[in-house]
Structure 1
Amino acid sequence: MKPAPFDYHSPRTPEEAVGLLAELGEDAKAIAGGQSLVPMLALRLAVFEHLVDLGRVSGLRGIERRGDAVWVGASTTQTAILRSPDLAAAVPLLTRATPLIGHFQIRNRGTVGGSLAHADPAAEYPAVALALDARLEALSPRGARTLPAAGFFTGMWTTGLAEDEILTGVSFPVRGERSGHAVEEFARRGGDFAIAGAAVAVDLDGAGLIRRCGIALFGVGATPLRASAAEASVLGVKAADVDAAELGATALAEPASVPSDLHASGDYRRHIGAIMVTRAWRRALREALDA
């Protein structure tokens, strides 16, 4: 199939882009790399009369250290993220999640902002943003604002962005001295969306106690999920005393329901998800202990 007819717009500035979205209203959709939206348009799962292309908008690309955080422009490609040694050192969880996204052709076009704004519950970047307490920067005709990752993902493919608002960048906190990060997912084939996955970030204090813990789940709900009860259960605990398998079970006991589809039943996703948390926790903790 082919997309339904639409008018194409190519703004050059963020202000022009949000102005177009405001003027055109609900009949318009912003498009970044197009790796998620174009297939939906081709299958006519989504239909818009206007597409506002953000690819030529100035100021939306780049990776910059800003104090105790790293800013990544919303139009920065996944390949650029993967190739940045500074980002690999400062925000390793983002770098490690990137090779799991589709295939290299997709990563060459796909963007960090596009992935976050598309909000696929089985995607890696939304879970990474949750686990790291990232802050998302948005712009509309009313001005700029910053949204915390917690609460940004409101439902299947929906976010807290208004119709006339675009993401301009994302700030990720820089890793601590004794920290560990890991992403684990299970998919039927490499490059497929995950049946279940987990992103883990853990920080230790000087005594080896868990000072901060972020556990985000993907593929097991309508949005990426933060395993808050599991995180709380290990805060202040000596790292060596945490039972990784028990932590995984606690994390996947939190979702009230896990969806079933043609790829996997809810029970299977819950079982696999617990294993992914267990594996990611062990890897992240080992890195933190060796730091």
Structure 2
Amino acid sequence: MIPAAFDYAKPSTVDEAVRALAEGGEDAKVLAGGQSLIPVLRLRLAAPTVLVDVGGVGELRGVRDDGDALVIGATTRHADLLRDPLVARHAPLLAQAAAQVGDRQVRHLGTLGGSLSHADPAGDLPGAAVALDASFEIAGPGGRRTVSAADFFVDFLTTALAPDEILVSVRVPKRPGWTTHYEKFNRVAQAWAIVGVAAAVRRENGSIAEARVALTNMGSTPLRAGAVEQSLAGSAATVDAVASAAGHAAEGADPPSDAFASADYRRHLATVLTRRAVLAAGGIA
């Protein structure tokens, strides 16, 4: 199907992009890698009057060290996350989740900011961002503001971004001594997650001192598994202790039932995948 007609703008700065969005009104859309937007346009599920292509905005690209955190530009591509040494050292969970996104072509075109802004609850990177307690820098006509990952994802395909705002960068705190893993279940290769789990663990003296666990596709937004985290904190780093904590994975979640899985099956998967993710993150045999 051919998309509806639209105007096209290609700004070279963040300020120009914000102006183009403001001038385009509520029917303007940001184009980054296009891996979420283009299929929607082709199906005519969206008909923007203006596409604002931010691919030429240099400020939105790349990874830099900012002392106690990494700052990752919104148009940094999934493939770049996989090979960046700063990400590998300080935020490997992002690379682990990015490796599960689509296929090689999608990873070479799709962007971190595009995935986060699309806010599909079955997407892999939103859960990783929540588990890492990332924060997002947003630019709009009134200037710039920072929103935590916990507050950025509002509802299904809905974020804290206003129509005239763009995501500039993602700030990820460094967590020395933490190890991570992303576990995903899908029925076929390259598919969206039926359920996914992003886990980060800090071990100390043979125990799990702290843990952070976020769930993919267990509600309308990525969710922190707070009951799991509380159960793991201070527990022995053993298979039995992790399995017991993972039993709380679905508490407070409201998973959907759809053509791919029932809500009850997703609750079961959340328990199984949380156990696997935490064991792998913690290096527990």
Query: Same fold, TM exceeding 0.5?
Result: yes
Q: 1:240 aligns with which of 229, 238, 241?
A: 238
> In the aligned structure 2, how far is the partner of 1:236 from the partner of 1:173?
22
Shift of 1:242: 5.9
Q: TM-score, with normalisation over the residues of structure 2? A: 0.96
Does the 8 A contact of 1:234 with 1:242 survive in 2?
A: no
What does the per-residue CA deviation read over 1:45-75, in whole Å, with 9 as the maximum and x for residues that have no partner?
2221111111111211011111111111111
Q: Indicate the percent of aligned positions where both proteins have the same amino acid.
A: 46
Q: How does 1:59-70 map to 2 (within 5 A)?
A: 59-70=59-70
Matches within 5 A, 1:1-291: 1-177=1-177, 179-205=178-204, 207-240=205-238, 243-255=241-253, 257-286=254-283
- How many residues are aligned here? 285
Distance 1:54 1:81, change over 3 A: same
- Once residues 197 and 141 of structure 1 are traced to their aligned partners in structure 2, the CA distance between those partners, rounded to angstroms, is 36
Amino acid in structure 2 at the alignment position of 1:3: P
Amino acid at match of 1:82: L
Q: 1:241 to 1:263 in 2, by over 3 A?
A: closer
Deviation readout 1:7-29 (Å, 9 max, x if unpaired): 11111110010111112210111
Structure 2 Cα separation of the partners of residues 31 and 101 of structure 1: 18
Give the Cα separation in 2 of the matches to 1:224 and 1:266. Answer: 15
Q: Which residue identity lines up with residue 261 of structure 1 in the other structure? A: D
Residue 143 of structure 1, CA deviation: 0.7
1:100–1:190 contact (8 Å) kept in structure 2 = no
Q: Give the Cα–Cα distance (whole angstroms) in 2 for the partners of residues 12 and 98 of structure 1.
A: 27
Q: Shift of residue 241 of structure 1?
A: 7.9
Calculate the aligned-residue CA RMSD, in Å. Answer: 1.5
Q: Unpaired runs of 5+ in structure 1?
A: none
Runs of 4+ with >4 A deviation? none
Tell me the alpha carbon deviations over residues 230-257 of structure 1, each in whole angstroms, 9 at most, x when there is no partner.
Answer: 21222233333862222222011321x3
CA contact 2:28–2:52 (8 Å) conserved in 1: yes
Deviations 1:83-127 (A, max 9, x none): 112211211111111110000100111000111111110111100
User: For structure 2, which runs of at least 5 residues remain unmatched after alignment?
Assistant: none
Task: Give the conservation status (yes or no) of the 8 Å contact 1:200–1:216.
Answer: yes
Structure 1 residue matching 2:250: 3-state secondary structure: helix
